[in-house]
Structure 1
């Protein structure tokens, strides 16, 4: 019975896991943040209270 021969199926399993673990994450991580982040200044903005007219 050919289903009991593990040689081709084990190779297919290992190559598919190599693709899932090595190739696909590197391709997807390149698209997550294509632009570099610029740091935001840490200065606090002045907030003024607003008196309601009623």
Structure 2
């Protein structure tokens, strides 16, 4: 059964992972977000409890 021979497929898989691990991460890490993250004070509005008059 030739599909059980790992010789050609192991080389193909290792070369594909080598390409994935050497080419793709620098491209992904070089991506910069167009939105700058700024730390701002978050002001939450003061909320009041409802008065349930029908309860």
TM-score, normalisation: structure 2: 0.49
User: Going by fraction, where is helix more abundant, 1 or 2?
Assistant: 1
TM-score, normalisation: structure 1: 0.49
